[in-house]
Structure 1
Amino acid sequence: MTERGDSADPRMHGDGDEEVLTQQVGAEEAQSSHDEDDRLKPGFVSAVLDAVEDGDTDRARALVSPLHPADIADLLELTPADRRGDVAAALGDLVGAEVLSELNDYVREDLIGALAPEQVAEFASELDTDDAVAMIEDMQEADQQAVLDALDPEDRAAIQSALSYPEESAGRLMQRDLVAVPEHMTVGQVIDYLRDSGDLTTDFWEIYVVDAMHRPVGYCQLSWILTCPRTIAMTDLMKREQTLIPVDMDQEEVALRFQKYALISAAVVDGSGRLVGMITVDDVVHIISQEAGEDILRLSGAGEGDINEPIMMTVRARLTWLVVNLGTAMLAASVVGLFEGTIERFAMLAALMGIVSGMGGNAGTQTLAVVVRALATNQLTDSNTVRMIGREFRIAATNGATLGTLIGIGSYMIYGRLDLSLVFGCAILLNNLVAGLAGVLIPVTLDRNNVDPAVSSAVFVTMMTDSLGFFTFLGLATLFLR
């Protein structure tokens, strides 16, 4: 045993030396914290770009080497597109498989396009199956086939099998590397198997127990195995109730199951019930974020909303819905045209009718956002649709009556006409009721007809609130204003 004298342990020195050591450690920690805070800020990104432009690759690599692969991916995304290739070339092996798997799809496509198929294949072989599939699934067919040909037969078979499943399905999301043991094993035999196997997947938290047909019959968490006697049979230790994911299940439904049942990982089974892979929570977190962002962007008609998306793709996505909105606006204008004579006699109607449609549109958007989210998370189903309609109707009636009263009082104070105030208030109430019902019925109807309600509901709700809002207000004004 090595004896430790005073010189070996700084804590044995006097108070002065101890204070100096504490100050040094504190300074180092502060510097480390400061460095982490400065990562990926404009000054840091500019320093890396300047080093690359000056040909000082050593300095660029020194700046980037402490970064996590996800941070390096962010750095490449922050780099202007025309300089991205030069930065990646200067960083060399720092831009590895993990960095590519973290990159935005469009940025990754640009970088991979400059690599030879053998290089892409080498990166893919270092990743889990799900990450490798994400890397090559959007490549051109010829390029994709060249990468597959360059892979080892085992990796090629796994990736081709995953690519055979529909996009955004559990088959694409799953990884094939998992740990499964037969049900006749004991805890001790499982531990020995884990220690002796040299090709286990690097990250796993649960071990699946399978029967002779390779169908999962239960699972065990690693903590259970490590804390049980070696003689205990796996069939006595495992938990038989488990959440199995069909291989063709949509990834959004997969995410909902993970969220509902608080899963860390889940087994994926094919049509015959055989274990073919597993999905882990780190992949599901990404899916939840992705799906939530997609729904928000679809409600606004903004397409994918990716700032790295080619400009013409963004233009096409946005212009389509802007043209549709133009059509609904023309329809609303035609409704206004029906009451041209009334507007000529009562000029104040032109100033007020926009308020009716605007308030209805805002109310409809609120209801629509709640309903689309409820549909996406399976909170709204056939069993509670009628209750949801009744709930939103009561909310719309309460809000409409309150707003109608307030706006009626306000218009009376401005124009001094009781009949106009009553017409204005009633129009606000009726259009709020229309907005509440349209905000529920339109997305529910689209969902029942297998149309994504997040994509097209907003257009129809806006059309209803604008057209019926103008019709209600101007129609009441025609009937009751003298």
Structure 2
Amino acid sequence: MADDIVTETEHDEAAYALDAGTFAAIRMAVAAGDGDRLGELLEPLHAADIADLLEQVDSSHRREILFLGARFFDGEVLSELDESIRDEVIEFLPRDVLADAVRALESDDVVDLVEDLDETHQTAVLDALEDTDRVAVEQALTYPEFSAGRLMQREVVAAPEHWTVGDAIDHLRSNKKALPEEFYHIFVVDPRMKPVGYVSLGKLLSAKRSVPLTRIFEANFLTIPVLQSESEVAYAFNQYHLISAPVVDDDGRLIGMVTIDDAMAVLDEEHEEDILRLAGVGESSLSDRVIETTRQRLPWLAVNLVTAILASMVIAQFEDTIAQFVALAVLMPIVASMGGNAGTQSLTVAVRALATKDLTGSNVWRVVRREAMVGLVNGVIFAVVMGIVGALWFGPVMLGVVIAVAMVVNLVIAGLAGILIPVALERAGVDPALASGAFVTTVTDVVGFFAFLGLAGAVLL
């Protein structure tokens, strides 16, 4: 039975990823210079798996794969690639292959592709586009980065508000080449090109031809201003369960649309960014070089060094106390570590809740009280445990009392700091995921050491 489970698990993993066997076979085909065999292996792979392949190998092997298998390379692979290696891949690709790959992409995918390229490679991609497509991409690039204007695609299906279902169906059938590759709604507009509603394809196909489009509008109609931040766009899609939404200019006229795949990609990027920033590693990638990774991590290690020095300065104020009770040096890390972990727990919850707009001014104090109570309850529980351990380990009962009280104090402060610090930073316009960790660590270390050593000095001396 266990063997069956393992086999099934391995099969499931292989179904949704570039499995080890295929990866090894590709490496062998590249080593042998066998382009036909490489093509056989690449052809059935999804674009995302080919992108993963290119990200997992080093630069020399990447060049060989692109040289031998360029004919199997399409635009979807480019859009799936990690930004850190896009310039390199475009440099390696033959110009005709690059042109064909780019022309197959929707305008939003081209914008996403070129906005992070250097000027030389950006020009190479734009030159590969048809004139109308190039103008659309260049216009999108004039909008601020991380705005709906950068996220949207220009290809939309619009219909006048006086049309019937039959009119819309006839329009779709007679204009196949002008339609987006994928779309979910028809946007209904007034004579000034302002959206007044939209119709899902399901309702369109299930209604009679004589039914006016205005009678089968979707209920959750929402327009997106072109300058709205992409994080707000992603929030709207997630909050209101949208599939697609029209993007409008300052005059309210339809100029594009955002689809759920792009909105969810933004959410995914923001989740990843929050996790990386909480760890102090920035927007790093496994494809980054040593010097790039070092440069990203060095500032936060420096910040941690400063916080460690501050904590050490607190300890230095109690040198005489520690000299008389060596046991304090053994127990100090326990108090600081428990406070740090408790603070990180509260901090993680707070940063996530701020990102999803679940933590707001209306409920912040209720959440603060909850975290303080959680810290108090956990502090009492672990205070009893450590009080007993301290007394049995080192003898003096009062030493157990000291560490117990310090544990309660530090866990309560950790819970409060984990909530209040990211909230304060967010209100000050600073990304709480970026800076909260250093502040919370400083607070828990300083408070933990001061409470423990201060109480020890007052009670034991």
TM-score tier (shorter): over 0.9
Match of 1:235 among 192, 210, 214: 214
User: In 2, distance between residues paired with 1:54 and 1:442?
Assistant: 57
User: 1:416 is matched with which residue?
Assistant: 395
Pair 1:91-2:69 in alignment = yes
**Contact 1:118–1:147 (CA<8 Å) still a contact in 2?**
no
How big is each residue's C-alpha offset from its partner over 1:240-264, in whole Å with a ceiling of 9 and x where there is no partner?
6512222222222222211111111
**Contact 1:397–1:432 (CA<8 Å) still a contact in 2?**
yes
Pair 1:218-2:194 in alignment = no
Pair 1:342-2:351 in alignment = no
Specify the structure having the higher radius of gyration (Cα).
Answer: 1
User: In 1, distance between residues paired with 2:364 and 2:213?
Assistant: 45
Pair 1:466-2:445 in alignment = yes
User: 2:165 is matched with which residue?
Assistant: 187
Greater alpha carbon shift after TM alignment, 353-362 vs 241-250: 241-250
Question: AA paired with 2:59?
Answer: A
Match of 1:162 among 140, 143, 146: 140
**Contact 1:214–1:275 (CA<8 Å) still a contact in 2?**
yes
Question: AA paired with 1:67?
Answer: L
Pair 1:333-2:348 in alignment = no
TM-score by length of 1: 0.89
User: In 2, distance between residues paired with 1:239 and 1:428?
Assistant: 56
Pair 1:301-2:280 in alignment = yes
How big is each residue's C-alpha offset from its partner over 1:451-476, in whole Å with a ceiling of 9 and x where there is no partner?
10001100000000001111111111
1:146 to partner: Cα distance:
4.6
User: 1:324 is matched with which residue?
Assistant: 303
User: In 1, distance between residues paired with 2:17 and 2:256?
Assistant: 37
1:145 to partner: Cα distance:
3.3
Distance 1:370 1:274, change over 3 A: same
Distance 1:242 1:34, change over 3 A: closer
1:53 to partner: Cα distance:
2.1
**Contact 1:423–1:477 (CA<8 Å) still a contact in 2?**
yes
How big is each residue's C-alpha offset from its partner over 1:151-204, in whole Å with a ceiling of 9 and x where there is no partner?
322111110111112222221111111111010111111111111113111211
**Root-mean-square deviation (Å):** 2.0
User: In 1, distance between residues paired with 2:189 and 2:374?
Assistant: 52
User: 2:4 is matched with which residue?
Assistant: none
Query: Aligned to 2:198, what secondary structure does the other structure show?
Result: strand
**Contact 2:200–2:218 (CA<8 Å) still a contact in 1?**
no
Match of 2:115 among 107, 115, 137: 137
User: In 1, distance between residues paired with 2:34 and 2:97?
Assistant: 25
**Contact 1:121–1:148 (CA<8 Å) still a contact in 2?**
no
Greater alpha carbon shift after TM alignment, 137-146 vs 370-379: 137-146
Pair 1:109-2:90 in alignment = no
**Contact 2:284–2:296 (CA<8 Å) still a contact in 1?**
no
Pair 1:275-2:250 in alignment = no
1:450 to partner: Cα distance:
1.0
Question: AA paired with 2:349?
Answer: V
Distance 1:118 1:48, change over 3 A: closer
Question: AA paired with 1:40?
Answer: L
**Contact 2:339–2:444 (CA<8 Å) still a contact in 1?**
yes
User: 1:13 is matched with which residue?
Assistant: none
1:421 to partner: Cα distance:
1.2
User: 2:241 is matched with which residue?
Assistant: 262
Pair 1:313-2:302 in alignment = no
Distance 1:241 1:72, change over 3 A: closer
User: In 2, distance between residues paired with 1:99 and 1:290?
Assistant: 18
User: In 2, distance between residues paired with 1:314 and 1:411?
Assistant: 42
User: In 1, distance between residues paired with 2:250 and 2:34?
Assistant: 56
**Contact 2:387–2:404 (CA<8 Å) still a contact in 1?**
yes
User: 1:479 is matched with which residue?
Assistant: 458
User: 2:5 is matched with which residue?
Assistant: none
Instruction: Count matched residues.
Output: 451
**Contact 2:226–2:247 (CA<8 Å) still a contact in 1?**
yes
**Contact 1:217–1:240 (CA<8 Å) still a contact in 2?**
no
Match of 1:43 among 21, 27, 37: 21
5+ residue gaps, structure 2: 1-7
Distance 1:428 1:238, change over 3 A: same
Question: AA paired with 2:421?
Answer: I
Query: Aligned to 1:383, what secondary structure does the other structure show?
Result: coil
1:226 to partner: Cα distance:
1.1
